[in-house]
Amino acid sequence: MSQSIHAALSADPNADGAVTRAQGFSACGFTAGIKESGLPDLALLISDRPATAAAVYTQNQSTAAPVHISKAHSANGALRAAIVNSGNANCATGDQGLADAREMTQLTASLLGCEPDDVFVNSTGIIGHYLPMALLRAAIPQLSPTSDGGADFARSIMTTDTFQKEAVATFEANGITYTIGGCAKGAGMIHPDMATLLAFFTTDAPISADVLDASFRYAMDRSFNMVTIDGDTSTNDSSVILANGAAGGESLGGEALDAFTAALLEVATTLAKMMARDGEGATKRISMTVSGANTWEDARDVARTIVVSPLLKAALSKYDPNWGRILMAAGRAGVPYDLDQVRIWIADLCVFDGTATNVPEEEASAKTQGEEVFLRMDLGQGDAEATAWGCDLTEEYVRFNADYVT
């Protein structure tokens, strides 16, 4: 078994069109006129045959209408298509919003000759406005997905993202080469619990629905659920995978399933890290590893709590190696530790080992100046470890979010 992963900090030409790289998938983007900017705002992804499916959704109580519909449609572990618009979130829109989301699946089903409940639907954009259904009724029947349409799909779901986020991996199992492709959009309101973002994964591997569900949740917990931009979570967050088995072979299990899960985690982690880097106003990614914890959950909770701290994020925007803020932020994660046993590193420099190590500040500051800052805190308790990703906090974030008028 072997794997090869193509992805990078920003858009990687080797991952272009990732979501249609697996056999049997087509996609497209379209300009329906929902966005005033005239940028593409409608996207369709389809499998040419029935596919098993798994999905995870936002935990936010203010759930948007399409999330309710998609939850119902994905519950049986089978989907054929995903229809998505950007520019309007169809959230806080009451019964009309539910009817509109349902109609989007009906229009898509008519186009494809499938059932509405084979269609996943989502929306992203402003909250509290009804969807412009006249535009969607005109646009959806015109959609024409192709096997090289993955990049257009990825572009059409973007809102405030500054670059497309695509990643692809292949793995070999039982003598067959399988492909997993994914794309995602960010870039504000991102926080654990299935944070913003919409993400779409496709694979031509054959996998039963319940096995796919377990593998998908495992990968999501260790990738998208470890990204935090600002602590806010979206009303529309959803991530979905379709597995159509087009590359042939028997339903994956055992080592073949392990290879699939590893490749899926790589694709998802690559996309998650891209989202951290593309946080609104961000100039760098923060990679926060917590080690020496008693459990993975403890390590996760501390890492996520640190990486969302506005005080730490602001410090790092100006190369300030302010490890006091790491200690301060860690302390509210709800995980007990003994401060005397704690150690903190900035890159490979140990700056705290129960007390300050008095590393010269210029030396520590130099370690914070790249595109990515690597921080580690060891709790001195056990062997568990987790990494969370975030970004720095800049004046640009505030300017952007103050000026983005509803």
Residues annotated as catalytic (active site), given as ranges: 196
Our finding on whether 96 is near a copy of itself (CB under 8 A) is: yes
Contacts of 251 (CB under 8 A, 6+ apart): 206, 207, 208, 211, 245
The secondary structure of residue 277, as a DSSP letter, is H
**E strand segments, 214-348:** 238-243, 285-293, 343-346
Q: Please state the φ and ψ torsions of residue 33, each to the nearest 5 degrees.
A: 95, 15
Q: Least distance (Å) from a copy of itself to the CB of residue 185?
A: 17
| Integer angstrom CA distances of residue 241 from 13, 130, 166, 183, 372 | 22, 28, 14, 11, 29
Please report which residue ranges of 75-93 form alpha helices under DSSP H.
Answer: none
Separation CA 79–CA 100 (nearest Å): 19
Our finding on whether 310 is near a copy of itself (CB under 8 A) is: yes
Our finding on whether 332 is near a copy of itself (CB under 8 A) is: yes
- Taking the least distance from each CB to a copy of itself, the nearer of 261 and 322 is 322
Residues 211-240, interacting with a copy of itself (CB under 8 A)? 230-235
Q: Is 289 within 8 Å of 376 (Cβ atoms)?
A: yes
Tell me the three state secondary structure of residue 249.
coil
Our finding on whether 322 is near a copy of itself (CB under 8 A) is: yes
| Integer angstrom CA distances of residue 190 from 62, 185, 187, 224, 394 | 15, 11, 7, 9, 16
Conformational region of residue 264, where left means phi above 0, alpha means psi within -120 to 50, and beta covers everything else: alpha
Separation CA 128–CA 37 (nearest Å): 19
Q: Least distance (Å) from a copy of itself to the CB of residue 403?
A: 6
- Taking the least distance from each CB to a copy of itself, the nearer of 228 and 244 is 228
Our finding on whether 384 is near a copy of itself (CB under 8 A) is: no
Q: Which of 185, 14, 220 lies closest to 87 in space, CA to CA?
A: 185
Binding a copy of itself by CB under 8 A: which of 20, 23, 26, 63?
63
Our finding on whether 141 is near a copy of itself (CB under 8 A) is: no
Our finding on whether 393 is near a copy of itself (CB under 8 A) is: yes
Q: Least distance (Å) from a copy of itself to the CB of residue 242?
A: 27
Binding a copy of itself by CB under 8 A: which of 61, 175, 254, 360?
61
Q: Least distance (Å) from a copy of itself to the CB of residue 328?
A: 6
Separation CA 25–CA 207 (nearest Å): 16
Residues 162-201, interacting with a copy of itself (CB under 8 A)? 188-189, 191-193, 195
Our finding on whether 336 is near a copy of itself (CB under 8 A) is: yes
Binding a copy of itself by CB under 8 A: which of 331, 372, 374, 384?
331
Interface stretch with a copy of itself, choices 3-11, 93-101, 209-217, 245-253 (CB under 8 A): 93-101
- Taking the least distance from each CB to a copy of itself, the nearer of 78 and 366 is 366
Binding a copy of itself by CB under 8 A: which of 4, 62, 142, 146?
62
Our finding on whether 127 is near a copy of itself (CB under 8 A) is: yes
Our finding on whether 36 is near a copy of itself (CB under 8 A) is: no
